[in-house]
Amino acid sequence: MFGIQGWKLIIILIAGLVLIGPDKMPEIARTVGKAIKMFTSAKDEMEKMIRADMFAAEEPPSTLVATPEATMASGLYTGDDDDEEEEEE
């Protein structure tokens, strides 16, 4: 757990008990537990949002993309040939 061995954890708990006192120790432990739970739930929610955005970005592109061939077929394409004819008139 966090790279702390068992005996180091016991020393930290004894130091906390001496510095904080036995009355406040359960209250602080509850507060730390709630903070860890909130952090974990926020992390999970953020991860879900990121995954949803990643999968949404992988969808195939729309077929309504304008290509030169499609615009030529629809009559919207004005190429260089049309411009030259207008200049000659």
- Please write the tens of the pLDDT for every residue from 34-88: 999 999 999 999 999 988 888 776 655 555 555 555 555 555 545 555 555 555 5
Note the pLDDT of residue 84: 52
Residues 9, 12, 15: CA angle, nearest 5 degrees: 150
Q: Contact, 15 vs 6, CB < 8 A?
A: no
Q: How confident is the model at residue 4 (pLDDT cuts 50, 70, 90)?
A: confident
pLDDT of residue 9: 83
SS3 of residue 74 by DSSP:
helix
Closest CA to 32 of 14, 13, 45: 13
Say if residues 24 and 16 touch (Cβ distance below 8 Å). no
* pLDDT band at residue 25 under the 50/70/90 scheme: confident
pLDDT above 60 (res 6)? yes
Kind and range of the H or E run holding 86? helix 80-88
Residue 32: name the closest of 7, 12, 5, 3 by CA. 12
The pTM of this model reads: 0.47
